[in-house]
Structure 1
Amino acid sequence: MSEEKFDAIIVGGGIAGTVASYLLAKEGLDVVLIERGNYCGSKNMTGGRIYGHSIEKIFPHFAEEAPIERKITREKISLMTGESNFTIDFSSSELGRQGGDSYSVLRGAFDQWLAGKAEKAGVNIITGIRVDNLIIHNGAVSGVVAGEDELESDVTILADGVNSLLAQKLGFCEELRANQVAIGVKEVIELPAHVIEDRFQCSGKEGTAWLFAGYPSGGRIGGGFLYTNQSSLSLGIVCTLDDVIKGEKSVPQLLEDFKKHPVIQPLIKNGKLLEYSGHLVPEGGLNSIPKIVGNGVLVVGDAAGFCINLGYAVRGMDFAVASAECAAKAVLKAKESQNFREESLNGYHDNLERSFVMKDLRLYKKFPHFLEKTPRIFKEYPQMVENLMNDLFIMNGQPAKPLTKKIVNNMKKVGILNIVKDCWRGVRSL
């Protein structure tokens, strides 16, 4: 048992953990952050995009010094089959305007930058050690067991990722079910900056975010993603674990097939593989959020299930930052009365309710269920769009059909009533 007692121990050196530790240390608290990787970000391969609004509040003008890759000024969303790709392509300077800006990032570098900020604020960062258990005294978490050491604290913040074994040990959540989580696999592919700018019509440090539905996930729930970095691409797929189990292809095979698609292959031509990795992604939305406040303990970020995949946007990092801020404010308030019991730390709930976090999660709470019950989005609809586009653009000497007939004929293959019901349910879920 260590003789020193900390004000706060943070478990996990991702965005949520480092931001929480920074905010607490900045206010004079004695904080230790424990990261099991060799450095903060060493294990993190998350997609590649951060919305700037939440971190801008904590680090004003962060993009001027943080190791961001490119400012996203072009959005693409595609319905893809094995032979075709229908894309909505939107570019606008408004996408890069401060307050609504977003950036592609490589988390290894970005998390190290955040860790550096935390260390400068006074956080003691310990790396290469896994937290195996929590210390419980009088029904309250009072520290952690890390390796051979026991470290005590007034409050412990769990930021240990989507499959938080520590939260499970506390009884805050059960073991994850296959339909509550997705598996993401990503490659970082090196290409010269000028090649990326030519292939994706980027200029300077501007970039593209591109999401795909249909073929990349084998026609099941999930999709593909591509983000342009300064001199590399982040390319990958995400599939719900439940659908991976049911599917015929493995996740690595799905990614290989995605890379060989006639749309993707030219974009990564002559690229050099720098990194291949995978991780779990929370997919359950509001209904999968575990208990996040207890005696002497709070849960933040992915460990709390704060993530939304809307198909046209994937959000997790901005939720991680905001939840860390809400948790830090609750701890600082509890510090004033030296009361770290659950009733005192419940200010965390109040802070989350006042922020965008719970408002957005509540707004989209039906969307995961909508996707689960509407598999046509990932198979029949991409095929319908391919057939319709072929009817519109192929001229083969046969008498032309009226446009309305072309549209209706292709809709009938899916079922007009099915389309109407899916559109209605989709709109209601959003």
Structure 2
Amino acid sequence: MSDDTFDTIIVGAGIAGSVAAYILAKAGADVLVIERGNYAGSKNMTGGRIYAHSLEKIMPGFAREAPVERLITREKISFMTAEDSVTLDYHAKEKNNPTEESYSILRGQFDPWLMGKAEAAGAQFITGIRVDDLWVEDGKVVGVKAGGDELRSNTVILADGCNSILGEKLGMVKPISAESVGVGVKELIKLPQDQIEARFNIRGNEGVAWLFAGMPSNKLMGGGFLYTNQSTVSLGIVCGLHDIESSTKSVPQMLEDFKNHPTIKPLIEGGEVIEYSAHLVPEAGLKMMPKLCRDGVVIVGDAAGFCLNMGFTIRGMDLAVASAEAAAQAVLQAREKNDYSQASLSVYEKLLEESFLMQDLKLYNKLPNLLGTSRIYNEYPQMVSGIVSDLFTVNGRPGIPLRRNIMKHCKKVGYINLIKDAVKGGRAI
């Protein structure tokens, strides 16, 4: 194999890597994907929601074949204190448009399916092998070094995840900083399907996506998440890495306390933990985006920092798909010209600029700064909880005007702080 020259070698068989391989192979390119895990998805531990639009464009009707878990029909957002929570619950109507759907998925099942689609299109996969280094000649990436062998290719696509050591070696990716990533921990909890449907008020293939702010991340930047699958629940938390040092709890303890919160405990009672995992999550948006291409190489997915935390929803997989599509198209155009220089591969950046990916990252560029405001995770959950608690408490005492009740709790946060955060939030969205 070391005597062959591939059109493209892709490092990483996650969603971005497999989608790029699928598109390239379908177009007749000679593609090799190298995955260090024992199988595609073995090292992918994300909470588990994919917005369908970008993959639907590439594989129309994919959800009818793919091992998706549940169609998300319920959206919940909770402000949570140590004792209680206030929840916004939206039950979506049927959309009848596959590009507007989203699904809970388990990456250990979904990624192998996606790899299989790429293999059927003609891509080759090697699993259980780590790419130790990139093969560089005269400043141009000409292949990879893996498993004691040197494999030559015209281009390399780096889809090796949030902490892209290979991209860092090339000087394209900045070293990971605590301010740019979060640490996520997740448990997969097995429950009977009928219990999941009864406890979450869903039927058939319906599913719930639920985000939490406040108590889950110990009042630090971050939050909790819950996704319902067919016979499991994905439950976890994410906490900003820069906040860990000041935390009074370890991240595993945060998760344990979250599981025992009065809102969560009845939902998972009797469940069996069948998986526990942790991973880094890109959090800084455009601020952590690396140099995306140079001679012979492009960077996609989490390795490029393509993740968007909007507070009310978290997006990464649809961005990974879009970046993979743009990278594959750029490589195919370079292949036609037999020109794999940075100037030729910069078509990738142009395609990204024209796509929703860069437009959304730019639109919400100020959100990471807003979400770094500590009051969102501390004072505001307390304020909302206090207002709602007083609203629904009847104790025989004379009532007070609702306006005064609200002002009483707002005063604890501070009117100046409320105004500053409102202005900051308005500018961010």
How far 1:147 moved relative to its partner? 1.5
How far 1:95 moved relative to its partner? 5.5
After TM superposition, the score normalised by the length of structure 1 is: 0.99
Query: Are 1:356 and 2:356 matched, yes or no?
Result: yes
Query: Are 1:338 and 2:338 matched, yes or no?
Result: yes
* Whole-angstrom CA distance in 1 between matches of 2:320 and 2:96: 21
8 A Cα contact 2:56 2:98, kept in partner:
no
* Whole-angstrom CA distance in 2 between matches of 1:301 and 1:412: 43
Query: Are 1:205 and 2:205 matched, yes or no?
Result: yes
How far 1:138 moved relative to its partner? 1.6
* Whole-angstrom CA distance in 2 between matches of 1:163 and 1:379: 30
Query: Are 1:24 and 2:24 matched, yes or no?
Result: yes
After TM superposition, the score normalised by the length of structure 2 is: 0.99
Aligned to 1:258: 258
**Secondary structure class of the residue paired with 2:237:** strand
Query: Are 1:291 and 2:287 matched, yes or no?
Result: no
How far 1:76 moved relative to its partner? 0.2
Aligned to 1:249: 249
Aligned to 2:376: 377
Report the more deviating stretch, 239-248 or 217-226.
239-248
Aligned to 1:109: 109
**Secondary structure class of the residue paired with 2:276:** strand
How far 1:96 moved relative to its partner? 6.7
* Whole-angstrom CA distance in 2 between matches of 1:167 and 1:203: 45
Aligned to 1:145: 145
Aligned to 1:54: 54
8 A Cα contact 1:11 1:17, kept in partner:
yes
Task: For structure 2, list consecutive stretches of 5 or more residues without a partner in the other structure.
Answer: none
* Whole-angstrom CA distance in 2 between matches of 1:207 and 1:424: 35
Once the two structures are superposed, the pairs formed by residues 196-235 of structure 1 within 5 Å of their partners are 196-235=196-235
How far 1:400 moved relative to its partner? 0.9
* Whole-angstrom CA distance in 1 between matches of 2:127 and 2:165: 18
**Secondary structure class of the residue paired with 1:361:** helix
- Structure 1 counterpart of 2:377, one-letter code: F
8 A Cα contact 1:73 1:96, kept in partner:
no
**Secondary structure class of the residue paired with 2:100:** coil
**Secondary structure class of the residue paired with 1:10:** strand
8 A Cα contact 2:311 2:371, kept in partner:
no
Deviation sequence 1:110-165 (CA, Å, 0-9, x none): 00000000110111100000001000012100000001111000000000000000
- Structure 2 counterpart of 1:399, one-letter code: P
8 A Cα contact 1:44 1:108, kept in partner:
yes
Percentage of identical aligned residues: 59
Query: Are 1:326 and 2:308 matched, yes or no?
Result: no
* Whole-angstrom CA distance in 2 between matches of 1:148 and 1:154: 20
How far 1:354 moved relative to its partner? 0.8
Q: What is the RMSD computed on CA atoms of the aligned residues?
A: 0.9
* Whole-angstrom CA distance in 1 between matches of 2:96 and 2:54: 15
How far 1:417 moved relative to its partner? 2.1
How far 1:92 moved relative to its partner? 1.5
* Whole-angstrom CA distance in 1 between matches of 2:258 and 2:248: 15
**Secondary structure class of the residue paired with 2:98:** coil
Aligned to 1:417: 416
**Secondary structure class of the residue paired with 1:329:** helix
* Whole-angstrom CA distance in 2 between matches of 1:2 and 1:324: 25
* Whole-angstrom CA distance in 1 between matches of 2:95 and 2:80: 25
**Secondary structure class of the residue paired with 2:175:** coil
- Structure 2 counterpart of 1:299, one-letter code: I
How far 1:74 moved relative to its partner? 0.5
* Whole-angstrom CA distance in 2 between matches of 1:321 and 1:57: 10
Aligned to 1:347: 347
* Whole-angstrom CA distance in 1 between matches of 2:37 and 2:221: 31
How far 1:93 moved relative to its partner? 1.7
Aligned to 2:184: 184
How far 1:97 moved relative to its partner? 3.9
Aligned to 2:425: 426
Task: For structure 1, list consecutive stretches of 5 or more residues without a partner in the other structure.
Answer: none
Structure 1 consecutive aligned stretches of length 4 or more whose deviation exceeds 3 Å: 94-97
**Secondary structure class of the residue paired with 1:298:** strand
Aligned to 2:175: 175
